[in-house]
Amino acid sequence: MPSLISPSERDYILKGIECNIRADGRQRPDYREVILETGVISQTSGSARVRLAGGTDVLVSVKADIGPVLVDPETGEGADKGQIICNVECAPSASQQFEGRGADELNNELTQMMTRFLSHNTTTLSTPSSTTPSSTGASNNNGAGGINLSKLCIIPGEQCWILYVDALVLDYGGNLVDAVFMGTRAAIFDTRIPKTEVQDLGDGNFDFEVLDDAEDTEVVEGREDMPICITLNKIGARHIVDASPLEELCTEAKLVVAVNRSGELCGLQKGQDGGIEPSLLLEMIQFGKTLGQTLIKQLDAKIKAEADADIIKRQNGQPVVKLGFFAQ
Amino acid sequence: MSRAELLSPEGLRIDGRRPAELRKITSTTCVLSQADGSAYLEHGNTKVLAAVYGPREARHRALVLHDRAILNVELNVAPFSSGERRRRSKNDKRLLEMASFVKQTFEPVVIATLYPRSQIDIYLQVIQHDGGTLQACINATTLALIDAGIAMTDYVCACTAGWIEREAAIDLNYIEESSDTSEVTIAMLPKSSKITLTQMESRLHVDKLEEVFRLAGEGCKQMYEVMDKTIRDRAEDLARKMTV
């Protein structure tokens, strides 16, 4: 991760982008090749590795654990919901600047962004049984993150599934946010949660049993509606996607657009010190939305193809070989 | 933990290996774009990534040595690396200890006097843990240092060996490691057969030590073959690319 750029190099990148040609031969709206593989770490509930050609390498794992539900002491909400706990860590192998405590700020920023985009439910929720009087007729009860947290609850008010999402950034080649979210979406897609059986002991007491049959698992409901992020970098009067590290250094303003498969906007975050004109802002959001939808479609197709291939291999008794780090 | 039978009557271990058999080792170098040298190594299910930066200007002027380079080792363990999810802080004593073992192992091997007033950083990332983390870290570091082109007198190959029930065995996995078996990790320079690190956990009868050491040494030699092949394949690949 370089931290300085020479004026001539900056000029070169700027003029190139003005002419719609970038240093690596791409045009402004072009994304790099994405290498994606799921199920790379065996002892997790789900995992994925995303690599953008020419650098950025992110490993995401999801672990499902049983824990007590988190109830908001003021509103009393959350008693019937599971939790998602996100954590992003940048390894020093990614950049020399991440050594020691160097990455703390970036880690925190990414963790908070992920928490906000995935698990935070700011919209008023409607539960199917409409137990809460505040519920309105919103059609989507899963919030912006897409995941149906109520399904993760085992015994309301007591126990629930907690999904620990850990993203580990191993290599840095620009466009970190997009890669982290792509990886997270793929890892949640790969996640299988064991089924539970709840027994009513009477007197309002419940007990549950986790079925430890490897075949008897559930997928995370609402995983299709999870958003991915598209980062748009404003350089000069233009904007580009999937910036390389040097292009990131020339960026005046950065806009992260979180979008789901139906094209709904799930989050926005403007970064860096430059400003964006309102008209350009709308154009950028629109562009991010369209690109995000296309990307989701392609990612889903890839994940599905891989999962199908794995199932066929298992049925035929062949070993499922993962490339892991040997995929270059 | 209930004592599972670690050695079957037929003399096979819990994962079906023979006592003097290593797990499957796969390794590759040059996996990261930013680092000067990097390597990824798998010992069975133990997976380690090593990155080397440098030699470069020392970050803290107070640490500069005027006749040689300083080595700096940082070890991180991914929160999902073991069965239970656990976040380790950067100041975890065990991690610091392991980092210092790696540092001590490499200090006599890296020709540091060639790089005065500079610093060589080694960052290790444990991605999955299934026993033998230290040996995997040392082996991965060797490959990463070679990939970075840093002068060394020899490879450093590490291997663990232990005493399981009635026999000495090498390359213990997590189950064998955690059921109170004695375990010795040694790091060896394969050319001179000199040992640069020994570390032992749990107790072992002194009569059995020699056998365990001999086996670990053999393991190191086998490791050397694998690592040397990785490096040579990589070099050949590069040479081929340059001629085209």
Measured CA to CA, the distance from residue A49 to residue A186 in angstroms comes to 8
B96-114 pLDDT per residue, tens = 999 999 999 999 999 999 9
pLDDT for res A205:
81
pLDDT for res B3:
57
A130-144 pLDDT per residue, tens = 333 333 333 344 566
ipTM above 0.90, yes or no: no
State which residue of chain A sits closest to B29, comparing Cα positions. A326
Per mean pLDDT, which range of A95-109, A228-242, B108-122, B225-239 is the poorest?
A95-109
B167-210 pLDDT per residue, tens = 899 999 888 888 778 899 999 999 999 999 999 988 888 999 99
pLDDT for res A327:
60
What confidence tier does A4 reach under pLDDT thresholds 50, 70, 90? confident
Average pLDDT over residues B130-158: 95
- A84: helix, strand or coil: strand
Average pLDDT over residues A26-43: 89
List residues of chain A with CB under 8 Å from any CB of chain B.
1, 41-44, 47, 54-55, 57, 59, 61, 63, 65, 87, 89, 91-96, 99-101, 164, 166, 168, 170-173, 324-326, 328
Average pLDDT over residues A116-143: 47
Across chain A, mean pLDDT equals: 85
A225-273 pLDDT per residue, tens = 899 999 999 998 899 999 999 999 999 999 999 999 988 888 899 988 8
Is the pLDDT at A166 greater than 60? The verdict is yes
State which residue of chain B sits closest to A52, comparing Cα positions. B33
State which residue of chain A sits closest to B88, comparing Cα positions. A89
pLDDT for res A121:
53
pLDDT for res A322:
72
pLDDT for res A20:
93
B76-86 pLDDT per residue, tens = 999 888 878 87
Name every chain B residue with its beta carbon within 8 A of the beta carbon of A95: 34
Of A94, A96, A164, the CB nearest to B121: A96
Average pLDDT over residues B40-50: 92
- State percent of chain B over pLDDT 90: 64
A316-325 pLDDT per residue, tens = 887 777 766 6
- State percent of chain A over pLDDT 90: 44
pLDDT for res A50:
93
Structure tokens at A261: 């498969």
pLDDT for res A199:
85
pLDDT for res A126:
38
Q: Does B23 touch chain A (CB under 8 A)?
A: no
Across chain B, mean pLDDT equals: 90
Architecture in CATH for domain A33-122+141-315: 2-Layer Sandwich (3.30)
Is the pLDDT at B221 greater than 90? The verdict is yes
Is B74 in Cβ contact with A100 (below 8 Å)? yes
pLDDT for res A125:
41
DSSP chain B: -----SB-TTS-BTTS--TT-PPPEEEEE---SSSSEEEEEEETTEEEEEEEEEEEE-SSGGG--SSSPEEEEEEEE-TTSSSS--PPPTT-HHHHHHHHHHHHHHTTTB-GGGSTTEEEEEEEEEEE-SS-HHHHHHHHHHHHHHHTT--BSS--EEEEEEEETTEEEES--HHHHHTT-EEEEEEEETTTTEEEEEEEES---HHHHHHHHHHHHHHHHHHHHHHHHHHHHHHHHHHHHHH-
Chains A, B: CB contacts within 8 A come to: 93
Average pLDDT over residues B36-63: 90
How far does the CA of residue A249 sit from the closest CA of chain B (Å)? Answer: 16
pTM, 2 dp? 0.88
Delineate the domains of chain B, giving CATH numbers in brackets: 25-243 (3.30.230.70)
H helices present in A27-175, as ranges: 104-118
Name every chain A residue with its beta carbon within 8 A of the beta carbon of B121: 92, 96, 99
Per mean pLDDT, which range of A10-14, A165-169, A202-206, B228-232 is the poorest?
A202-206
Enumerate the domain spans of chain A.
33-122+141-315
Is B49 in Cβ contact with A93 (below 8 Å)? yes
Contacts with B100 (C-beta within 8 Å, 6 or more apart), sequence order: B73
**B146 or A148: whose pLDDT is higher?**
B146
pLDDT for res B203:
85
Is the pLDDT at A193 greater than 50? The verdict is yes
pLDDT for res B59:
81
pLDDT for res A326:
64
Is the pLDDT at A81 greater than 60? The verdict is yes
What confidence tier does B223 reach under pLDDT thresholds 50, 70, 90? very high
How far does the CA of residue A26 sit from the closest CA of chain B (Å)? Answer: 19
